[in-house]
Structure 1
Amino acid sequence: MRGRASVAIDLSDEERSFLEAQLRRHKAERSLSDRCRIVLRCADGLTSKEVAAELGHAEHTVGKWRRRFAEHRIEGLSDEYRAGRPRTISDAQVAEIIKQTLETTPKDATHWSIRSMAAETGYSHTTIRRIWNAFGLQPHRSETFKLSTDPLFVDKVQDVVGLYMSPPNRAIVLCLDEKSQIQALDREQPVLPMAPGVAERRTHTYLRNGTTSLFAALGIATGAVVGKCYKRHRATEFLDFLKELDRNLPEGPDVHLVMDNYATHKTPKVKAWLARRPPWQVHFTPTSASWLNQIERWFAELTRKQIQRGVHRSVAELEADIMAFIDAHNDKPKPYRWVKSADEILTSVKRFCLKTMNRTSIPGD
């Protein structure tokens, strides 16, 4: 006895191209790619039994997608809508959970957790998790911010960013700052090196072996860095570093210095020294806006790559590693690419201020 004949599948060029493209997609759903493969093999003239044996599916599964494609073509390969389990929590209850998450805190903590909110409301922790995920609530996370209160914030941002994005012709632009109190730290016990499947391990306790302060200047055009270490970070050391820069820079071009409002940068001796050099011009970043100084980005690399996990038994070792890092950086310097214009920065700050004011405002005020 012969069973029911298989439905013949005849593909157009567009349909075959679409099905084959789904098989080549790296992020395609496994279920969809399996269905496309079934239809393609059926279109090659194989029976459902042969396709099932070749692809490792049940014969009735192959027959199902053969019929679905024959009736609805490509649209038939999608899953049919399923109503699913009825909701057990109303919109009002969801709104109450959201309100409680945003406006209250538990008695024994600074923020809610999924388990503590579940215990407080009587719902399961999976229900709380779904609601928080749906509305993007993450009470365990916290970010920091600080807005500049400099009355000349707008003017300084436009000045510094304009210098980055459109520097004067034949001029040298240097981002200058000091990284003070860098500690020479040694571990109380030897560091255990990394091994296959085992991360590097070190004691959480350490020995302090003194500190040093690094004065550094970054050329925005080349990415090269000039640096020098000092025992202290007073105006005297800052002035000495300026003189070091003066000796290393070529004569002729104007020099534009970008630096912050630290007191050592504005002493009478420093101002007098700069006044005797008209080609040297100073551009101050706004207060509480060190992110405008590109040297801070380089300081972050120095900390991450050299200082954070370094072991230094003396200040001399620390300073030697810092200078070696500068030399290695200058072998292949790469300038940072500033992409945000002053208007875009100011617009972002304005948007953040308005959002913060809306969140902290009291209804009725």
Structure 2
Amino acid sequence: MKPGRPIPPLVLSAKEKAELEKTVRQRTAAHSNVQRAHVILLCAQGIPNYKVAEQTGISSLSVGRWRKRFVQDRLSGLLDQPRSGTPRSITDAQVAEVVRTTLEKRPKNATHWSTRSLASKLGFSHDSIARVWKAFGLQPHRHEHFQFSTDPEFVDKVRDVVGLSMSPPQNTVVLCLDEKSQCQALERTQPI
């Protein structure tokens, strides 16, 4: 037996023991959560920290840390605590502005925003714009979304094409062709 400070026994309530055993049996639980629950169950059996460390494959210091956190905070002590790091640099209002600008405004001389063009307009990094777009599922570069035309005569051309399709001249056949070579139109680019 290894010499060391005596460790008080770890006593579990029936509810805590059931919860820890449930966590150990779960196939979809995170490995770290299963390991912590296993450590506490072994400690509750009166097994010393160094033996628990050997059985679980973690250091005896880690076993001591989880035992101490469990004694202090019970089951909630086994949860991950917030980690240190740089605080958020973009506020909720700024996130809303990024989303609003992406969806409602169009850049000059372009059909859609890029992360860099929107970042330079709003004064953020392009990485921040990309994180906001990812969080909200925005993909302005994808063709499934509405695309603005940059052609200044676009409205007049649409009227001509739609007018020809809606009321063609008498005794004529109107054909519509896909102008893209090597591309097959499998679905509409715009909703009906």
TM-score, normalised via structure 2 length: 0.62
Once the two structures are TM-superposed, the CA of residue 22 in structure 1 deviates from its matched residue by 0.9
Separation (CA, whole Å) in 2 of partners of 1:143 and 1:94: 20
Instruction: Measure the CA separation in 2 of the matches of 1:115 and 1:56.
Output: 47
1:130 maps to what in 2? 131
Partner amino acid, structure 2, of 1:41:
L
Question: Which deviations, in whole Å up to 9, do the C-alpha atoms of 1:133-168 show, x marking residues without a partner?
Answer: 344433234269xxxxxxxxxxxxxxxxxxxxxxxx
Give the alignment of 1:181-200 within 5 angstroms: none
Following superposition, the deviation at residue 61 of structure 1 comes to 1.0
Q: Specify the code of the residue in structure 2 equivalent to 1:97.
A: V
* 1:207-226 alignment runs, 5 A limit: none
Give the aligned residue type for 1:66.
Answer: R
Cα offsets for 1:176-218 (capped at 9, x unmatched): xxxxxxxxxxxxxxxxxxxxxxxxxxxxx7xxxxxxxxxxxxx
What are the superposed Cα offsets for residues 317-345 of structure 1, whole Å, 9 maximum, x if unpaired?
A: xxxxxxxxxxxxxxxxxxxxxxxxxxxxx
State the distance in 1 between where 2:125 and 2:73 align.
41
Structure 1 residue identity aligned to 2:65:
K
Q: How far off its partner does 1:15 sit?
A: 1.8
1:53 counterpart residue number: 54
Does the C-alpha gap of structure 1 residues 53 and 111 become closer, same or farther in structure 2, counting only changes over 3 Å? same
Calculate the aligned-residue CA RMSD, in Å: 2.8
Residue number in structure 2 paired with 1:86: 87
What is the one-letter code of the residue matched to 1:14?
K
Task: Extract unaligned runs of 5+ from structure 2.
Answer: 147-181, 183-192
Task: Tell me what 2:167 maps to.
Answer: none
Structure 1: give runs of 5+ residues left out of the alignment: 145-204, 206-365
Does residue 56 of structure 2 align to residue 40 of structure 1? no
Question: 2: CA distance between counterparts of 1:87 and 1:124?
Answer: 13
Answer yes or no: is 1:114 the counterpart of 2:115: yes
Output the CA distance in 2 between the equivalents of 1:121 and 1:48. 55
Deviation at 1:36? 0.4
Distance 2:123 2:39 in 1: 47
CA distance in 2, matches of 1:60, 1:84: 24
Structure exhibiting the larger radius of gyration computed from Cα positions: 1
Aligned length: 146
SS in 2 for 1:68: helix
Higher relative contact order (CA 8 A, sep 6+): 1
TM-score normalised to the size of structure 1? 0.35
Partners of 1:138 and 1:51 in 2: CA distance: 50
Q: Distance in 1 between matches of 2:117 and 2:31?
A: 37
Structure with the bigger percentage of strand? 1
Look up the equivalent residue of 2:38 and give its one-letter code. R
Distance 1:67 1:96, change over 3 A: same
